[in-house]
Structure 1
Amino acid sequence: MARPRTPLLDRQRIVQTALRLVDEAGDLTMPALAGALKVSPSALYHHVTGRAEIVALMRAELVRVIGERSLWDRPWDDALRGWARAYREAFAAHPGIIRLLATAPLAEPFMHEVYERAVVTLEAAGFAREEVMGVITALESFILGSALDLVAPAVMVDAVDRAATPRLADALAAVPAGRHRADQAFEVGLAALIAGYRVLLTGDRGPGAVAGHPISDQA
């Protein structure tokens, strides 16, 4: 029997199929991936060590399109805006992967390098070391929610009774149509986050604030 001219399986094909499966099912198993590729599960292990490596490869595929190293050469606020926008678009293309990646530890050296550049930029801008990871994590949490909002139904608040909630009805009527709704919400939220981060830099956190905690929980 003649061999196929192109390999039946390679790492790129595995990653692309895994992304499709996660988009459809929100999870990934080796048997399901093997079935989608029409190979035996053992065949996958000739190319990858297991599920953890596939998750890492999917993360690498997304990070590849998030931006160049030069992104972090910009002023900190411009860098965060650029990162947030690219990050959101990348995850919006594969919304099913958000839960999977958000709960998988960042063990890959290439991800450590991404965060290293972010930390260097933020510390150089004057953010306190103990607050830098909080700045990054808060931004990422917002980005992931915004990515899901991009693929949410066009109308998330429906069947509003204008007589009972007239102000809500008017506010909803003022929302832009289509993708513009999600884009507007994202840009409003991003501007608010950046403004809040500037407060961290100036130290003007308001009454009762303590270092590392903008709003104190003490009486």
Structure 2
Amino acid sequence: MPNHRTGGGDPAHTLRLLWRQPDESRRRGPRPGRSLDDIVTAAIALADAEGLDAVTMRALAQAVGVAPMTLYTYVPGKAELLDLMLDAIYAGMPRPDHSGRSWRTRVAALAQANRDLFTAHPWAAEVATGRPPLGPGLLAKYEHELRAFDDTGLDDVARDAALTYVLDFVRAAARAAAEAQAARRDSAWTDEEWWAANGPLLAQVLDEQRYPTAVRVGAAAGAAQNAAYHPDQAYEFGLARLLDGLAALIDTERTGPTADVTDG
């Protein structure tokens, strides 16, 4: 389970920050030397470079060149900061016009856009968003992505569920890819070297009579992927099956359910 979650701060204060609404209680006093956007941009850069755990208020204050206590005049704490960070990267996502293309092309494009987001900002896949940051970036993203399901015949509830289904798949694929990359980074061996070192021992303990399917399929998959797990191939296979599943639902919505008629 992710250790980081959105929606952890005071809702009213967080929404004011997300929408850059002025705080009437802070109108007096000296003009701040930094903007809230500066703070958020620095926090994103820190998370991109070192991960979310590295984004402490002290480290962020050092990155932007202010005293730690000064930072709290911009944002109350990390809970609100996390919402601001996510909303900012959502706002920066490209939103090309895919009108005129098939729904499968549109949905595949939105999936790839989110995959690109997680590649650029791996920490974002670690954040649980059950209480999403309701800022302009998220709402623009949601509005754009819902349109991928135009002309599918899905009602509003099914359209929202279909989008969630796609985004959950992409998030899971991104986390699996990040874990595989971390294993390669933290290990002294490449995948090929690891299998070469463990292959002889594995050959001794694997009983082809006891595990015939596992041995056969594992060998075939490993040879095809040159590894036990290949993130790109897993993503492409999963996305194709996901689109096939949505196609069955969309066909039903367009044509209506068909009865299974048998002779009595």
- Report the AA paired with residue 75 of structure 1: S
The residue number in structure 2 matching 1:99 is 126
Q: Which one of 93, 103, 117 corresponds to residue 144 of structure 2?
A: 117
Measure, in 2, the Cα distance between the counterparts of 1:149 and 1:62. Answer: 21
> In terms of Rg, which structure is larger?
2
- Select the residue among 87, 104, 111 that pairs with 2:114: 87
Distance in 2, matches of 1:51 and 1:40, equals: 16
Distance in 2, matches of 1:140 and 1:123, equals 17
Preserved contact between residue 103 and residue 150 of structure 2 (Cα < 8 Å):
no
Shift of 1:92: 1.9
**Which moves more between the two structures, 183-192 or 198-207?**
198-207
Q: Deviations over 1:65-95 (max 9, x none)?
A: 5322514664322111111112112112222
Name which of 239, 244, 248 aligns with 1:190: 239
Matched, 1:63 2:63: no
User: Structure 1 residues 168, 139: CA separation in 2 closer, same or farther (over 3 Å shift)?
Assistant: same
Q: Percent identity?
A: 28
Aligned-residue offset at 1:134: 1.5
Question: Whole-Å Cα distance in 2 between the matches of residues 83 and 13 of structure 1?
Answer: 28
Q: CA RMSD in A?
A: 3.6
Structure 1 length as normaliser, TM-score? Answer: 0.71
DSSP-derived class of the 1:174 partner: helix
Q: Kindly indicate whether residue 37 of structure 2 is the aligned counterpart of residue 15 of structure 1.
A: no
Structure 1: 5+ residue stretches without partners: 1-6, 209-219
In the alignment, structure 1 residue 202 sits paired with structure 2 residue 242: no
Shift of 1:57: 3.4
Of 222, 247, 258, which residue of structure 2 is paired with 1:173? 222
Aligned 8 A contact 2:40 2:85 in 1: yes
Q: Which residue of 1 aligns with 2:69?
A: 42
- Once residues 108 and 65 of structure 2 are traced to their aligned partners in structure 1, the CA distance between those partners, rounded to angstroms, is 42
Q: Identify the residue that residue 52 of structure 2 maps to in structure 1.
A: 26
Q: Map residues 121-140 of structure 1 onto 2, 5 A cutoff.
A: 121-140=148-167
| CA pair 80-90 structure 1, distance change in 2 beyond 3 A | same
What is the rounded CA distance, in whole Å, between the counterparts of 1:177 and 1:86 in structure 2? 27
Q: Which amino acid aligns with 2:216?
A: R
Q: Secondary structure at the match of 1:78?
A: helix
Amino acid at match of 1:94: H
